[in-house]
Chain A
Amino acid sequence: MSKILIVAEHAEGKLNGGVAKTVAAAKGVGGEIHVAVFAADAAAVAEQAAKLDGVTKVLAVNNAANANPVAAVLAPQIVEVASGGYTHVFVPGTTFGKDLAPRIAAKLDVQQVSDVMAVHGPNSFDRPIYAGNAITTVETPAGTVVATVRLASFQAVGAGGSASVETVSVGAAVPTHTRYVKLEAQKSERPDLQSAARVVSGGRALGSSENFKVIFDFADKIGAGVGASRAAVDSGYVPNDMQVGQTGKIIAPELYFAVGISGAIQHLAGIKDARTIVAINKDPEAPIFEVADIGLVGDLFQVVPELTGKV
């Protein structure tokens, strides 16, 4: 039977929403599901993880070195825990997980499965390649299965569980060659891009950060999160954490507005799971219209304020 270890991502005492989706992927494998929380003081996060449906045990690993998530510091501790009979190590497919998982896999001497989007069994998974323009089914060889989970492909499990929490001590020596300095986080009152039911994204066409106001105003009116194309981020209109796409965030909102975005394959890679895509673009030939469920050809500076007034 499978025994799955999920590494909890968390910040400021809060469990990351991606963990509940990672548990959903683990449930597809079946077997025991344990969540390990590495922190300076893991108690609060462990308690949240214990509530996730399907989790059978939570392991709390307290260590001052775990105050900030540094892959090089976490990996040896995870490898030690994973050596306790685990068949799988699953990590959310966030920047946290993408940074960390290969460090675990290499230490366990196994290839890693990146961006699991469907689970066919303990050793068979679907994953995207070429910016999601092809989906492969892969089978893992013998050994521990280390995988990151593509969060947009799974629905979060509920929080009605009550797993036991066990404090474990880990002896692995942690390196000091990698030191956390600081995090400049964007504080936003808007819904989080990765879990928002509605997202409005702006592209290069916005032309400036001031002009992005039309996007923010519309988003606020409909309670949406705000995203952007790479071109808009590169041009400095909005910060990097708003980029949607192959190399930004992969999102799955109910409703997505692509405003002044041409629809490059790298951008589309981030919105393949959006339920309904609305495109607003002045160019009727823009590729975004090939994937849009509803398209409107027009000047965004006229169309978007008009919409804001009408919804």
Chain B
Amino acid sequence: MKALVSVKRVVDYNVRIQVKSDGSGVVTDGVKHSMNPFDEIAMEEAVRLKEKGKVTEIVAVTIGGAKNEETLRTALAFGADRAIHVKEEGEVQPLTAAKAFAAVLKKEEAKLFLAGKQAIDDDANQTGQMVAALLDIAQATFASKVEIDGDKATVTREIDAGLETLEVDLPAVITTDLRLNEPRYLKLPDIMKAKKKPIEAVSFADLGVTPAAGLKTTKTVPPPARSKGIMVKTTDELVEALKSKGLL
């Protein structure tokens, strides 16, 4: 069984985001980028499924400009067998990305599409669900446990009320939550090996994808600043401060 894993290059989660003073966006030039943390979890899960003999081939796919090759190399170091680079410069919004992934999934005849539940740049949390919708296949989002049994998967999902279990027929889309696994630390030999693995470049045109009309961002601003707080020294002072604010 073939698994397709989507990976996105994003500003590293440790970076303190700066908003440009002219309101045109956030500063992304010259800041550290890495693979979206949820996508690392998706990659790790694919590799574990392969180690368990449930998955036979892992294909990593990304959409973006030349720099995204780095992200694909990381995916290959995790253990993807090969990679597909959908080359598109500029912003690609979720529906358009989903159309491209759906086209790749179909072409590859993959049974499993693994993706992070959200990318930590736009925090949209849409793409996986959209891929499933476009192909009319099952989706199990926010997964914290995945078990594959023949042509079915049983997925435990982290939802507001607790843990929900779904059974889905394959092919299916599964999006990963934080507690699905802990991604492995990449070792140098794997990183070296990844350099030799094949990356196929394709375009939206090759995939027959026409970008969907996008949302237009008219302004980007920092969140309202919180006013400077006070420090107290004792619990008595804390109780006093809360009482004076009418909070206790």
Contacts and interface: CB of A to CB of B under 8 A. Distances in A.
Q: Is chain B found bound to chain A in the same assembly?
A: yes
Interface string B1-22: 0000000000101001101000
B57 interface: no
Nearest to A93: B125
Given A240-B163, A310-B236, A72 B95 contact: no
A84 B226 CA distance: 44
A155 B242 CA distance: 24
Q: Which of A71, A109, A234 has the most chain B CB atoms closer than 10 A to its own CB? A: A71
A112 B232 contact: no
B138 A133 contact: no
Contacts of B142: 95, 99
A110 B214 CA distance: 8
Contacts of A272: 223
B59 interface: no
Interface residues of B, number: 82
Contacts of B212: 109-111
B129 A293 contact: no
Contacts of A240: 144, 158, 162-163, 179
Contact of A179 (B13, B168, B238, B248): B168
A196 interface: no
Contact of B160 (A75, A194, A297): A194
Given A111-B213, A265-B16, A179 B166 contact: yes
A60 to B, nearest CB: 23
Contact of B215 (A138, A246, A307): A138
Contacts of B226: 277, 291, 293
Interface in B227-247: 227, 229-239, 241-242, 245, 247
A51 to B, nearest CB: 23
Nearest to A113: B215
Given A111-B213, A294-B242, A246 B220 contact: no
Q: Which of A106, A115, A136 has the most chain B CB atoms closer than 10 A to its own CB? A: A106
A295 B136 contact: no
Contact of A295 (B214, B217, B232): B232
Interface stretch (B63-71, B114-122, B196-204): B114-122
B215 A234 contact: no
Contact of A230 (B163, B178, B219, B227): B178
B161 interface: yes
Given A128-B223, A132-B223, A289-B231, A181 B161 contact: no
In the A-B complex, the 5 residue pairs with the smallest Cβ-Cβ separation, listed nearest first, are A102-B129, A106-B133, A141-B213, A106-B130, A102-B126
Contact of A105 (B11, B130, B165, B239): B130
Contacts of B137: 177
Contacts of A101: 126, 129
Contacts of A105: 95, 126, 130, 133
A184 B161 CA distance: 8
Contacts of B123: 114-115, 128-131, 246
Contact of A181 (B16, B121, B154, B239): B154
A106 B216 contact: no
Contacts of A178: 138-140, 166-169, 172
Contacts of A278: 238, 242
A28 interface: no
B120 A131 contact: yes
30 contacts: A11-B161, A72-B138, A95-B141, A98-B141, A99-B141, A101-B129, A102-B125, A106-B134, A130-B123, A134-B222, A135-B220, A137-B217, A137-B220, A138-B216, A138-B218, A139-B218, A140-B215, A177-B137, A177-B168, A177-B172, A178-B138, A178-B166, A178-B172, A179-B168, A183-B161, A230-B178, A247-B117, A247-B178, A272-B223, A277-B226
A163 interface: no
B9 to A, nearest CB: 14
Given A99-B141, A112-B124, A292-B229, A276 B216 contact: no
Nearest to A95: B159
Q: Which of A139, A177, A241 has the most chain B CB atoms closer than 10 A to its own CB? A: A177
B221 A134 contact: yes
A110 B99 CA distance: 12
Contact of B229 (A140, A239, A294): A294
A241 B162 contact: yes
